[in-house]
Amino acid sequence: TTLAVQEATGSVLSDKYAEGHPGRRWYRGCEAVDRAEQLAIDRAKALFGAEHANVQPHSGTTANIAVYLAVLKAEDTIMGMDLAHGGHLSHGLEVNYSGIHHNVVSYTVSKDTETIDMDAVRDLALKARPRLIIAGASAYPRIIDFDAFARVAEEVGAYLMSDIAHIAGLVAGGVHPSPVPGSPFVTTTTHKTLRGPRGAIILCKKEYARQIDAAVFPGLQGGPFMHEILAKAIALGEAA
């Protein structure tokens, strides 16, 4: 994290309340923070080649849950990596929102290779017919074949959400394949390999922009953290 990111995070904007979205706030006097948030949005879209970006999520888990809220109904089935095999609690753990409100099936890594077996993923998807498939992990130090996940999702008629929280910097730097072209939804934190402030962003296809924005606010959050959003804009600019 650079000094510029730290200075923005510790700035007076930590006291600024700005419920809503750029140009559509519930408070007056938001012209400056509108510019800051729009800058973060534009930089996120440009860096990852995305059609739409929401930069308000406070955390990666919040970003993931916003996607679920946007396109799923209660008891819909989601399919993600098993926590014990490298997944994340927000990918379907029974004590997390994702596991409490949705049916969950989990794929694992191969016992022989300790890598994701895409044939096994496909077989599980064909059997379970999930509404949403999650590609991504919290503890998986191998390259993820996002294109293969996209093909499986298309075959079973599922949404695909790619969680790149731990590899976003590698994706931005072009040394790890990007999920953006084939994934309707991509989530990432901003404080790991992106070297930004604590927080997250959601990237999505333009057709889902309204649903994602509404899921974040007013669906899950109230006022966004404008000091963090400014810091996100700085970090995204540094990563370009």
Q: What is the CATH number of the domain that holds 226?
A: 3.40.640.10
- Decide: 200 and 224 in contact? Cβ < 8 Å: no
Helix (H, G, I), strand (E, B) or coil at 108: coil
* Residue partners of 38: CB distance under 8 A and separation at least 6: 22
- What pLDDT is stored for residue 92 in this prediction? 84
pLDDT at 99 over 90: no
192 included as an active-site residue: yes
17 included as an active-site residue: yes
Question: Quick one: pLDDT band at residue 14, thresholds 50, 70, 90?
Answer: very high
Alpha helices (runs of H) in 59-167, residue ranges in sequence order: 60-71, 97-101, 118-128, 146-156
pLDDT digit string, tens, across residues 187-220: 999 999 999 999 999 999 999 999 999 999 999 9
Question: Quick one: pLDDT band at residue 130, thresholds 50, 70, 90?
Answer: very high
pTM given for the model: 0.96
190 included as an active-site residue: no
CA neighbor of 170 nearest in space, from 143, 193, 144 = 193
Catalytic residue among 61, 62, 77, 189: 189
CA neighbor of 102 nearest in space, from 74, 82, 79 = 74
Helix (H, G, I), strand (E, B) or coil at 123: helix
Catalytic residue among 122, 195, 198, 205: 198
Question: Quick one: pLDDT band at residue 29, thresholds 50, 70, 90?
Answer: very high
- Decide: 208 and 202 in contact? Cβ < 8 Å: no
pLDDT at 40 over 90: yes
Catalytic residue among 62, 68, 163, 228: 163
Catalytic residue among 1, 42, 122, 192: 192
Catalytic residue among 17, 51, 122, 147: 17
232 included as an active-site residue: no
16 included as an active-site residue: no
Quote the mean pLDDT of the chain. Answer: 97
Give the residue-averaged pLDDT of 37-66: 98
Q: How many domains does the chain have?
A: 1
Cis peptide before 218 (omega within 30 of 0): yes
Q: In percent, how much of the chain has pLDDT > 70?
A: 100
Secondary structure letter of residue 83 according to DSSP: G
Task: Return d(Cα 162, Cα 70) in angstroms, integer.
Answer: 15
Task: Return d(Cα 189, Cα 58) in angstroms, integer.
Answer: 9
Alpha helices (runs of H) in 49-132, residue ranges in sequence order: 60-71, 97-101, 118-128
163 included as an active-site residue: yes
Give the residue-averaged pLDDT of 25-36: 96
Q: How far is CA 39 from CA 3, 16, 94, in A?
A: 19, 17, 37
Catalytic residue among 1, 19, 151, 238: 19
Give the pair of three-digit tokens for residue 53: 């970006």
Q: State which residues form the domain around 167.
A: 3-239
Task: Return d(Cα 113, Cα 108) in angstroms, integer.
Answer: 11
**Cβ–Cβ contacts within 10 Å for residue 200, how many?**
28
